Structure 1
Amino acid sequence: MAGIFEPRYIRKIKIENGLALPPMVAFGFADESGMVSDRNVAHYSRIAQNGIGLIIVEATCISPEGRLDSRQLGIWDDSFIDGLSRISGAVHEAGSKVFIQLHHAGMKAKSDVAKEPFTSSDYDDGRMKGREMTYEEIKRVISQFREAAIRAREAGFDGVEIHGAHGYLLTQFFNSKVNKRTDQYGGTFENRNRLAAEIYEDVREACGDDFVIGIRVGSNDDNLEESIERARFFEKLGFDYLHVSTGFDGTRSVDELPEDFPCNWIVYGGVKIKENVGIPVIGVNMIKDENQIGYLLNNELLDFVALGRAQLADYNFVKHMRNNDKILYCLECKPCKWWTDGRECPRQIQAARQI
């Protein structure tokens, strides 16, 4: 598995191996102020010390009204810079590179943070409800992404990842199930991509050519073919990498997988997108053992593999894999204990007992 641990680049940033930590909100680590806590710093420091090449810090909100949860990290004003600098500093000290994901939930914002959540156009499916954004609100969101990226750079991060997946605001523009606008932000494929494009252009202008700007996207907005076309569009625009997951909802983009493919349709969507672009692609979703990792990276099906629950279960997953030591594999608890308090993860408890 030598290929797994070979260095590679995103833009001008050298990353020591093909393994990444995807952005996962550590619920309960921050309080309702959104400030970085000692637990946040310790969490990322431990994973960086494990030897991971790249850490992408959890969805960090650009606006208090755009939070998925009231306990989410914030980056909507300068008061957050010092705390976020502690995370980037700890990760760099351990030898890893670190990006931060910039996030706005759109109509998925919790009711206790947004009394009237907005989205691309009026929407109500019985589970989610949002009103159409005004032109002025769209421009304000673009500015909020820009200012958040400037803060991320000032806090010492190597780059940012724009969150354009998982049903949040940008997917609410990408996906025609939601976006029924008739202005320049809706209708055609190009118009539905316009918000993300303008965010990229503003962030690039503000942060310069050496700063990494990536985007997390789905392979199912509205389908795989359109997602591939969107990936090509974003590459041409200038994005430095693509992090492929799911889009507005869980509609499968692939009906049948190749018989020998060891991962799910979400990972396969990332593989198909990589076949069609020249910039690095990160694949993610329930990749949890060394056989899957080796298959994806040694066969050059992806540029990076993101290990989420695998590293929440075993903070030393990468070190254990490199040294052929015993790995504490995720037990796939339902629901995952990390949704409430990661200290209740049975593998974390087991590891603590062994120290």
Structure 2
Amino acid sequence: MTDTSVLGQSLDLPCGKSVKNRFFKSAMSEILGTVDHQVSKGLVTLYRKWAEGECGVLVTGNVMIDRNALGEPRNVVFDKDTDVAKVADWAKASTVNNTDCWVQLNHPGKQSPKAINPDPVSPSAVPLGKGLDQFFNPPRALTESEIQDIIGKFAFAARMAKEAGFTGVQIHGAHGYLVSQFLSPHHNRREDQWGGSLENRMRFVKEVYLAIREAVGDDFPIGIKLNSADFQRGGFSEEDSTEVIMALDKLGMDLFEVSGGNYESPAMTGVKQSTREREAYFIEFAAKMKKLISAPIVVTGGFRSPEGMAEAIRSGEVDMVGIARPLTLQPDWPKQILAGKAPTSLVKPLTTGIKALDKAGMLEITWYEQQMARLAKGKKPNPSMNVYFSILRTLTSNGVQAFQKRRA
């Protein structure tokens, strides 16, 4: 089969639904919600553009389930105070062209900046690592009733997504957010049914899945983004991840997206040079999991060419290819590839030449957020945007909040 035909194949999910092709737009934090955490017109415009670009599945940036627990100042929140009409507008735009759009549901736990949340929570009262205390307050441990309440909020938000017209949801269980915190023996030091053994540490994510499944029914796709490992001493390991994925697969999870790392230990520290050259990060772990589970699996990060994407699927290592940043510069990249134009990605390393400035300004994140902001205004991307201008714009637009730790 040609690269185009491989990538253009439909994919059946365990719940009985089918997606139209193998392109999977992974979540990126858009920072485009309104100041009161509602869906903005810009999000509607942005996702319509992406839906017209021929991805099989679009996954939104993390939508929070609790407006008192935010990851960033302009997160969208799905709760009892959400304007459901605006959510429906977003869903309608995101699903044009027979595109599937899944809402990524998230609770940040202790990764909620002190500027917007003075009282963060976590499975245990374990602060983030040295140097992060300038951004995040130490958390307090969740009570049993609070844990049950959060599980219910995940289900409430999932039901809202379905009723509004979205075609699936994804649980954010990676990158050190609350689900990830429960799974990690470093962050979860509880001695009750929610901590200790791996069986207990995975109880939270299993209960979240089961609550969502009850809320949305058996034929609605539910996926999850999980770390292959935290790359942190005493943290969530590959062996742990394997057991969790196998357990969720048995429960009926529809799709697994593999990632890695957290705020304290970024994922790229665990990526081998040989993996970078293959374009797909974490693909070795995904290939192992493919032999152990029945649900489809997707890897995001590093795909830069049609050949690399098609080979990952053709080899049987993954079922879909996750792409994110390329779509901020080429929102119709899948459409071009499927039309046989085979363009390469315009993504390239960004630097001012001053590593400390790049890091302080979070250049590799904020530059792409600014590309999404252009798309949200109906403008074309600007691949040649000056990096110094980008950092200056970030600082002037957001002030001190611009330099708070964030990830997708």
Same fold (TM over 0.5): yes
Contact kept in structure 2, 1:288 and 1:309, CA below 8 Å: no
Tell me by how many angstroms 1:255 deviates.
Answer: 7.5
Q: Helix, strand or coil for the counterpart of 1:161?
A: strand
1:41–1:351 Cα change, 3 Å: farther
Q: Does 1:22 align with 2:26?
A: yes
Over 3 Å counting, the alpha-carbon distance change for 1:122 and 1:260 in structure 2 is closer
Q: Which residue of 2 aligns with 1:120?
A: 123
Question: Counterpart in 2 of 1:182?
Answer: 191
Show the counterpart of 1:298: 314
Question: In structure 2, what is the Cα distance between the partners aligned to 1:273 and 1:3?
Answer: 21
Inter-CA distance 338–268: structure 2 relative to 1 (3 Å threshold): same
Amino acid of the residue matched to residue 104 of structure 1?
Answer: H
What is the aligned residue count? Answer: 351
The match for 1:91 among 87, 94, 97 is 94
Higher relative contact order (CA 8 A, sep 6+): 2
Q: Does 1:12 align with 2:16?
A: yes
CA RMSD of aligned residues (A): 2.5
Note the 1:92-241 alignment, pairs <5 A.
Answer: 92-124=95-127, 125-126=129-130, 127=132, 128=136, 129-221=138-230, 222-241=236-255
Q: For residue 348 of structure 1, what is the aligned residue in structure 2? A: 381
Counterpart in 2 of 1:308?
324
1:76 to 58, 76, 79: 79
Q: In structure 1, how many angstroms separate the alpha carbons of the residues matched to 2:119 and 2:22? A: 41
Shift of 1:131: 1.6
Pick aligned residue for 1:60 from 54, 63, 69? 63
* Structure 2 segments unaligned to the other structure (5+ residues): 231-235, 352-362, 386-408
Aligned residue in 2 for 1:332:
349
**Contact preservation (8 Å) 1:310, 1:330:** yes
* 8 A Cα contact 1:290 1:321, kept in partner: yes
Counterpart CA distance in 2 for 1:269 and 1:74 is 32
- Does the aligned pair in 2 maintain the 1:314–1:327 contact within 8 Å? no
Q: Does 1:263 align with 2:272?
A: no
Structure 1 residue 74, shift from structure 2 partner: 1.3
Q: Is the 8 A contact 1:49 1:95 kept in 2?
A: no
Contact 2:95–2:166 at 8 Å: present in 1 too? no
Distance change (3 Å), C-alpha of 1:259 and 1:240: closer
**Matched residue of 1:42: which SS?**
helix
Residues 90 and 257 of structure 1: is their aligned pair in 2 closer, same or farther, counting only changes over 3 Å?
Answer: same
Is the contact made by 1:102 and 1:161 (CA closer than 8 Å) also made in structure 2?
yes
CA contact (8 A) 1:320 1:327 kept: no
Distance in 1 separating the partners of 2:201 and 2:9:
37
Distance 2:157 2:113 in 1: 21
* Counterpart contact for 2:280–2:299, Cα < 8 Å: no
Instruction: Verify: 1:246 aligned to 2:260, yes or no.
Output: yes
Q: Tell me: CA distance 1:46–1:331, structure 2 relative to 1, closer, same or farther (3 Å).
A: same
Name the CA shift for 1:83/1:267 in 2 (closer, same or farther; >3 Å).
Answer: farther
Q: Helix, strand or coil: the match of 2:321? A: strand
Task: Summarize deviations over 1:153-186 as a string: whole Å, max 9, x none.
Answer: 1111111111100110011010111111000000
SS in 2 for 1:102: strand
Query: Taking every aligned residue pair, what percent have the same amino acid on both sides?
Result: 24
Range with bigger deviation, 328-337 or 165-174 = 328-337
State the distance in 2 between where 1:87 and 1:213 align: 19
Q: Normalising by structure 1, report the TM-score.
A: 0.91
- The CA distance in 2 between the partners of 1:24 and 1:252, in whole Å, is 17
- Per the TM alignment, residue 311 of structure 1 is displaced from its structure 2 partner at its CA by 0.9
Write the distance in 1 (CA, Å) between the matches of 2:336 and 2:312. 19
Distance in 2, Cα, partners of 1:247 & 1:144: 25
TM score, norm. by length of structure 2: 0.80
* Partner deviation per Cα, 1:243-262 (whole Å, 9 max, x = no partner): 11115443679675768960
Separation in 1, partners of 2:330, 2:70: 28
Deviation at 1:81, TM superposition (A): 2.1
Distance 1:286 1:257 in 2: 12
AA aligned opposite 1:212: P
Rounded to whole Å, the distance in 2 between the matches of 1:41 and 1:185 is 38
Do structure 1's residue 283 and structure 2's residue 299 form an aligned pair?
yes
For 1:205, the aligned partner's letter is E
- In 1: Cα distance, 2:146 partner to 2:222 partner: 23
